[in-house]
Amino acid sequence: MMNRRHFLIAGAGAAAVPAFGQFYGNSMASPPKVTEAAIAGKPIKINYYAPSMRGRKIMGYLVPYKEVWCTGANFCTTITSEKAGLEIGPMKLAAGAYAIWTLPDEKEWQLIINRNTHAFHLDYDESADIGRTKMDLRTLSEPVEQMRIEVRPEGGNKGRVAILWERTEASFVFTLV
């Protein structure tokens, strides 16, 4: 009886290890990433989960057009500016953290800034939106296998957040205020 119990416990543990591995460690399908940059001496931080192409068609398929996307995987992407407020398009944001959602389309993307920074990727709540603005869109010459987000200084108190995946770069300019 004791051997059977040990066998069952060991079997359950062995089955749990691969399942656990998809959320932690190197085998995570969409690992957590952090991008940081100083703009005008103030830190800007983006937290996101980075999915990979893995042979799949992304834009218009895995990331459907005309549907709100969490801009990554797992939990919503966030932008944090603790030392200064941000102006993004028509939105004026106090210092703090905000969720980034996007509304992709073949020719135009909309940036959505949302108050709920802890939303799971399927739990978009439009009632928490602060605002929307058009994003800049360009086609990349080489595919980007794993989605990445960059924070780029644009001079003075301006910066740009760029989302790159597959052959698409969608970006927006922000100003520290």
The residue that leads in pLDDT, 22 or 86, is 86
The reply to whether 136 and 160 lie within a common domain is yes
The reply to whether 102 and 125 lie within a common domain is yes
Give the pLDDT confidence of 14-53 residue by residue, as tens digits: 444 444 444 444 568 999 999 999 999 999 999 999 999 9
Range of the structural domain that residue 11 is part of: 1-27
The reply to whether 21 and 62 lie within a common domain is no
Q: How many domains does the chain have?
A: 2
Mean pLDDT in the chain? 89
Give the pLDDT confidence of 54-66 residue by residue, as tens digits: 999 999 999 999 9
Residue from 47, 105, 36, 104 nearest 75 by CA: 47
Tell whether the model's pLDDT for residue 10 goes beyond 70.
no
Query: Which segments of 2-89 are extended strands (E)?
Result: 32-39, 42-49, 77-81, 86-88
How many residues in the chain?
177
The reply to whether 170 and 111 lie within a common domain is yes
CB-based contact 136:171 (threshold 8 Å): yes
Residue 156 backbone class (left: φ over 0; alpha: ψ -120 to 50; beta: rest):
left
The reply to whether 111 and 153 lie within a common domain is yes
User: What was the pLDDT predicted at 52?
Assistant: 97
The reply to whether 46 and 120 lie within a common domain is yes
